[in-house]
Amino acid sequence: MEEKLDEIIVLLKNIDRNLQVLVDKGNAVKVSKPSNEAILKQFEETEKLFNKVMNKGKKVD
């Protein structure tokens, strides 16, 4: 279980880093609150990665 948590933490840090790149690119054009579309995309990507990690533990080899 601890290994899964470590993997989730790494994935979330990577998501955060990638989102910061997107935010920085967006801020270069204009400075404003994130759009609903960007927030939805962030949520979807986070959900996909989370499900991927959680499903790894359910596989029976």
User: What's the domain count of the chain?
Assistant: 1
Q: Give the pTM.
A: 0.41
Look at the block and give the residue holding tokens 């996909």.
48
**Within a domain: 37:** yes
**Within a domain: 22:** yes
**Within a domain: 61:** no
pLDDT at 44: 92
pLDDT at 52: 86
Please enumerate in sequence order all residues whose Cβ is within 8 A of that of 42, keeping only pairs 6 or more positions apart, or say none.
Answer: 15, 19, 34
User: Per-residue confidence of the chain (61 residues) as pLDDT tens digits?
Assistant: 788 888 888 888 888 877 777 777 766 655 456 688 888 888 998 998 888 888 876 655 4
The domain in which residue 11 lies consists of 2-56
Token representation of residue 42:
């962030």
**Within a domain: 28:** yes
CA–CA distances in Å: residue 15 to residues 6, 20, 26, 29, 59: 14, 8, 16, 22, 24
